[in-house]
Amino acid sequence: MPTPAQQKAFFEENGYLIVEDILNAEQLEELRRRVDIALEGKEPQFGDFEIQWEPYARERPDLPRAQKIRVMFHLCHRDPFFWSHAVRPEILDIVELLIGPDIKIYTDQMFVKAPLQGTAVPYHQDSAYWPVEPPNLVSCWMALDDATVENGCVRVIPGSHKALLPHHHYPESIQSLGLEDDEVDADREIPVELKAGSCMFHHSLLAHRSAPNRSPHYRKGLVTIYLPSTLRFTQPWDFKYGFKLLRGKEYPGSV
Ligand SMILES: O=C(O)CCC(=O)C(=O)O
């Protein structure tokens, strides 16, 4: 078991950190149960909004709803259970280790990769999307199923978090900003395979992607995004749920 100092040093050098079994079996089971309720739309707060549908969903109205969802956004702002997941002390302790004591939450994003159909996420750095400086947010990618090469686990380029690369705009694509494979150090890429209940923390400048799901099983990952409350907006960012303080203090003029 690495010490906190070793974990921090690894993150600073590589831009990501794996924490195994951060959820126990009971916590994992409850999280998976609530995610299924959300994906199946069984409660009104999980209606057909704040969802990015898989492009194939248009041609496949016959599929169950969960199989048509690519990403479901902002669960923690709409449902108390997902809020309680976002503020788990075990997670916030690691966030604090990585970004310091003053922590705000942006949001969460439920990345679903349906069996045999879930599509790829091209290379990108998350900070390309978020107008704040300095670009040092951190995401916790929680594996709800075992994430494997076959089912499209996240792939990262260690050490790529040192600078923001200029991104392309792809207005026609489901992923509006991205990097071409030859614009990153793709030879250094590693697949981050995770057991369900384990997670990866990644820096918002880390270049990463994921491949399609080639397996007959789901690959679900719930990503929760945190930021130091000292960050400043570089452009207006009218996020309707606001940036709520989780630990530490607010700074005037900051997010
Ligand atoms: O889960 C995936 O496939 C992609 C996740 C991702 O892009 C992210 O967490 O920023």
Instruction: Record the tokens describing residue 233, joined without a space.
Output: 């907006």
Write the Ramachandran bin of 52: left for phi over 0, alpha for psi from -120 to 50, otherwise beta. Answer: beta
Q: Ligand 1 centroid to 111 CA: how many Å?
A: 7
Q: Which of 237, 213, 220, 221 is CA-nearest to residue 127?
A: 237
Mean pLDDT of the chain: 97
Residue with tokens 């409350």: 229
Q: Report pLDDT digits (tens) over 6-64.
A: 999 999 999 999 999 999 999 999 999 999 999 999 999 999 999 999 999 989 989 99
Contact 70, 109 (CB under 8 A): no
Q: Ligand 1 centroid to 209 CA: how many Å?
A: 7
Instruction: Record the tokens describing residue 123, joined without a space.
Output: 């290379």
Neighbours of 182 (CB within 10 A): 6
Residue 121 near ligand 1, beta carbon < 6 Å? yes
Q: Report pLDDT digits (tens) over 233-248.
A: 999 999 999 999 999 9
Looking at residue 135, its pLDDT comes to 97
**Looking at ligand 1, which atom is closest to the CA of residue 120?**
3
CA distance 144 to 136: 25
Looking at residue 122, its pLDDT comes to 95
Predicted TM-score (pTM) of the model is: 0.97
Residue 203: phi and psi, rounded to 5, are: -70, 145
pLDDT (mean) for 129-152: 98
Element housing 252 (H / E): none
Q: Ligand 1 centroid to 21 CA: how many Å?
A: 19
pLDDT (mean) for 214-236: 97
Domains by residue range for the chain, with CATH: 4-247 (2.60.120.620)
CA distance 252 to 134: 16
Neighbours of 244 (CB within 10 A): 15
CA distance 115 to 216: 5
Instruction: Record the tokens describing residue 139, joined without a space.
Output: 């995401």
